[in-house]
Structure 1
Amino acid sequence: MGEESVDRSEGFGERLLGVLLDRARLLPPQLIAPLIAEEVARIGGRDVSILLQDYAQELLVPLPGKKLHVGQPEPIIDSPAGRAFLRGHAVEVPQTPSGVRMYLPLLDGSDTVGVMALTLNVIGDDDRRLLSRLSGLVADMLVTKGAYTDQFFQARRREPMSVSAEIQWSLLPPTSMSVPQVEVAGILEPAYRVAGDSFDYALNDNILHAAVIDAMGHGLDAATMATVAIGAYRHARRVFVSLAEKYALMDDAISRQFGPDHFVTAQLMHVNIATGELELVNAGHPAPLLIRDGRVVQQLESATTLPVGFGGEEPRIREHTLQQGDRVLCYTDGIIEEHVNGGEQFGEERLIRCVNRLRDEPSQGLRADLRRLSHSLKRERSGRTTDDATLFMIEWHGGAADHLAVLD
C-alpha cells in the first residue's frame, strides 16, 4: 500500500481503534503485541517496539513479542525514548536515509508505564493524533492484561528480585500521578532487594492522602510488617477517619500482630489540593523538606509522635500552608544514615545540598527531577545502598480541573 493511499482520517482512526477496543476484552496477553503491530502497519508504520520501565527506573527495556522489534534497552536519561517517557510527549527523530522514528509515551492515567516506538516514512498531524490515541489504548491494555500474566513483570527485571521486594512492589500504587492540581512521584531503593520501606497515596475528592513508612529490620520480617502497616493505612483511609485515627489504627494493627518490640516509622499527610493546606503526622521519621523555587526552605517539623506499634498517645497534627509550585520531599532514614567517607553518615546537610543542586539544570518535571535526585544521591554515596532508601515527592499547583469533564 503506497504511503499516499493510506487513510488517516479521523473516521478511519475511529474504526482502527474500535477494533482494538472490541477485541481487548478477550485478547490473551501474548496477543497484544501482534495486534498492535498490525494496527500500526495499517497506517504505514513498521518496526514497532514496546519499551517498559525497569524496576530501578534507569532503563526502558523492550517487551519480547511476536511481530515486535526487540532492540537494546534504552537509558531513561539522554535517549529519545527516555525524553518521551519523562516528558509525557511524543518525540520524533529523523532517520537515515529516510523516515521518522516516533517515540510515544504509554500513559495509563497520568502514570507513564513505558514507550511505544515505530517508524513512518512521512508523518503528519493525522498520524500524530491517531498514534497518540493508539498509545493511550495500548497503555491501558498493558496495565489491564498485566494483572493476568507475569510476562510484563519479567521483561522489566534486570536482575533477580528478593521475596521481600516482590511483596513490596506488589503493594505499591503507581510510582507517579499527575493531575492539574497536584503531582506525586516515588522511588524505592534498592529496587530488587527493598524490604521494609513503602509509600502509598490516594486522591479522594480534594484531599490527597499520602503515607511513607519504614518497618524496622530487614528481609521478610520487615516486608511483612510493612504489608500490615500499609493494609491498616488503606483500611483507615477507606473508612474516612481522621489523620490521628489513621495513626491509631495502624498502631493497633502493628502492636497486636508483632508485639511491643516491633515498630514502623511513618509520615502521614493530608493535602487539600484546592487550597494547599497540609496536615502532617510524623511518627519517628525524618522531617519532610519543603522546597520552594528550587531550594529547601525548611524542614516540616511536627510534634513528637512515637513510631507506629509503640502505643503512643493521640498525635498532635501539624498544619502547614503550601504555595503554588511548592514541593514536599519525604525520605526514609536509609538516605541519610548511609555511611560514606570511611564511616561518616551521609546526613541531612548533604541531602539538602543535592536537592538544591537540581536548580542548576532546567526542570523536566517532577518525575524526572526526582530521578535526577536519586541518581545524584547514589553518586554521592558511591553507589552504595545498604539499607532501604525511599524518596517520595509531592508538588502542589492548585487551581481546578473541572474543565476536563466538559465536552467541547
Structure 2
Amino acid sequence: MAMGERIGPVNAVNRSEGFGERLLGQLLDRAHEMPPQLIAPLVAEEIRAIGGRDISILLQDYAQLTLVPLPGRGLTDGEPLPLQGSLAGRAFLTETVVEHLQADGVRMFLPLLDGSDEIGVLAVTLDSVSDDDRRLLRRLAGLVADMLVTKNSYTDQFFRARRREPMSVPAEIQWSLLPPLTMTTPQVAVAGILEPAYNVAGDSLDYALNDDILHLAMIDAMGHGLNAAVLATVAVGAYRHARRAEAGLAELYAFMDTAIDQQFGPDHFVTAQMMRLNIGTGHLEWVNAGHPAPLLIRDHRVIGALEGSGTLPVGIGGSKPQINSEHLQRGDRVLAYTDGLIEEHAIGGEQFGEERLIATIERVGPASATVQQMVRDLSHTLMQERGGITSDDATLFLIEWRGGTADHLAKPIL
C-alpha cells in the first residue's frame, strides 16, 4: 500500500437505505409540513405502495366504547366497531396485532400506540403476510400514531371523529386539560377514565413522571356545569404551577388553597387528592382533601382503604395539610376515585356504596391484564350496575407500581 493511501474503517457501518427505512423515511419527511387533513391520505398512499388495500384508521371514542373510522381520501369508512366483540377491538384491548384470514387475503389490525397511550387501530388487507411485512407494518403503525398525536394539536378533525354524541362546554374544557389517560413504563403504569364522557364538568385529573417521582392529582370541583369546570381549571393550573416549581405536598396544597380562595372566595372549594409515588422504592405519600380514601389492591383483592388523616378541601383556607404515607409492594394497585362513583343511587333508590364498589373491583380485576383494561371495564361495569345512571361526575384513576429500573431501555441495541 502506497504511503498516504487512506485506509477505510475495518468495520464500516452500512448506511445505505433499505426498503423499510425508505418507506418510513418518506412518510416522516413528507409529514413535517403536511396539513392535518392530508395525513390520512398520505398514510393510505404509503401503505398502498407495499400492496395494502382497504385501509382504515380507527380512533377510540371519548366514552371508550367504540373505534370510530377516521374519514379521509384513500381510507375506507364505515360504522364504528365495538371494543368488545370485534377484531379491531381485540387488537386495541390486547395491544397486539390481530390477523384474520379472508378469501382475498389477510386482514391485519395493528394497535396505534403513542408511547403507551392507545390511540386506535390501523386496519389493512394484504394478499399475504410475511414476517418482514409484520415488522414493517408494526413500525408504520407506531409512526402513524405519533403523527396523529402531533397533528391533533392543529385541527378539530380528530376530535370530531371521536365524538359519538354532542359534548357540553364544561366537558370541552375538561378534556382540553387532561394528560394522556394511559402511561406505561417498566416501573409504573397509570390509567384513568371520566364519566359521563360527554358531560363531565367538575372532575379532572393530572399527573407527571419527573425522574423517580410520579405526581398525581385528582380534582372534584363543587357544583355543576360551567362554574364547576372553571373552578377545576384554576385548581389544575395551580397544581401544575406548584408541581413544576418542585413544591412538596404541603406547599402544593397551600398554593392551590390560596389560588382558589383568592379567585373565588370562601364559598367555593374543590375536594382533591394529591399523591407522590417514588417509583424506585414504592414509597407513596398523599394528602386527602375531602376525597374518598383510595383503595389498595393486591393480587386482585382490595386489602383496605388508605384512610390516613384527612385535610379540609382546597379553597376553604387555613388548613394545615396532613401527609400520609404507605410502602407499596411490587404489583400493588392503588385506585383513587371521586365520590360520584359511590354516592350514585342504583335502581330502587339504594346508594351504590363502597362495598359494592369493592365487590365489583374483585370481580373485574382478575380478567384485566392492564391498568387501562381494568379502569375501562370497571367504569363500564359500574355504569351497567347503576342502570346507566350518572347524575354526577365519576372519575377513576388507577396506579400500578412495578418497581425495578428502566435503565435497560436506554442501552444501545447491538
Residue 165 of structure 1 pairs with residue 171 of structure 2: yes
User: Is the 8 Å Cα contact of residues 86 and 364 (structure 1) preserved in structure 2?
Assistant: no
What SS does structure 2 have at the residue aligned with 1:67? Answer: coil
- Matching residue of 2:26: 19
Structure 1 residue 10, shift from structure 2 partner: 8.2
Give the whole-Å Cα distance in 1 for the aligned partners of 2:206 and 2:335.
14
Question: Which of 30, 35, 43 is the aligned partner of 1:28?
Answer: 35
SS in 1 for 2:189: strand
**Divergent runs of 4+, >4 A:** none
- Are 2:256 and 2:314, in contact at CA under 8 Å, matched by a contact in 1? yes
1:2-401 equivalence runs, <5 A: 11-95=18-102, 97-359=103-365, 362-401=367-406
- Checking the alignment, whether the CA contact within 8 Å between 2:347 and 2:387 is kept in structure 1 is no
Q: Indicate the percent of aligned positions where both proteins have the same amino acid.
A: 70
Q: CA deviation at 1:313?
A: 2.4
- Indicate conservation of the 8 Å contact 1:305/1:312, yes or no: no
Give the secondary-structure state (helix, strand or coil) at the position aligned to 2:119. Answer: strand
State the shift of 1:221 in Å: 0.3
Tell me if structure 1 keeps the 8 A contact 2:36–2:154: yes
User: Which amino acid is the alignment partner of residue 179 of structure 1?
Assistant: T
Q: Give 1:352 deviation, angstroms.
A: 0.6
TM-score by length of 2: 0.94
Say if 2:271 and 2:314, in contact at 8 Å, map to a contact too. Answer: yes
> Could you tell me which amino acid in structure 1 is paired with residue 41 of structure 2?
P
Distance 2:94 2:188 in 1: 16
Distance 2:299 2:75 in 1: 44
Q: Distance in 2 between matches of 1:57 and 1:316?
A: 36
Indicate conservation of the 8 Å contact 1:10/1:130, yes or no. Answer: no
Q: Which amino acid aligns with 2:77?
A: V
Letter in 2 for 1:364: A
Secondary structure of 1:339's counterpart equals coil
Q: How many residues align?
A: 398
Counterpart contact for 1:100–1:121, Cα < 8 Å = yes
How far did residue 344 of structure 1 move?
A: 1.8
- Secondary structure, in 3 states, of the residue corresponding to 1:269? strand
Rounded Cα–Cα distance in structure 1 between residues aligned with 2:243 and 2:61: 30
CA distance in 2, matches of 1:371, 1:78: 15
Q: Report deviation, 1:98.
A: 3.4
* CA RMSD in angstroms, aligned pairs only: 1.2
Shift of 1:84: 1.4
SS state of the match for residue 301, structure 1?
coil
- For residues 95-130 of structure 1, what are the alpha-carbon distances to aligned partners after superposition, in whole Å with 9 as ceiling and x for unaligned? 1x1311111111111101111100111111101111
CA–CA distance in 2 between the matches of 1:80 and 1:206? 37
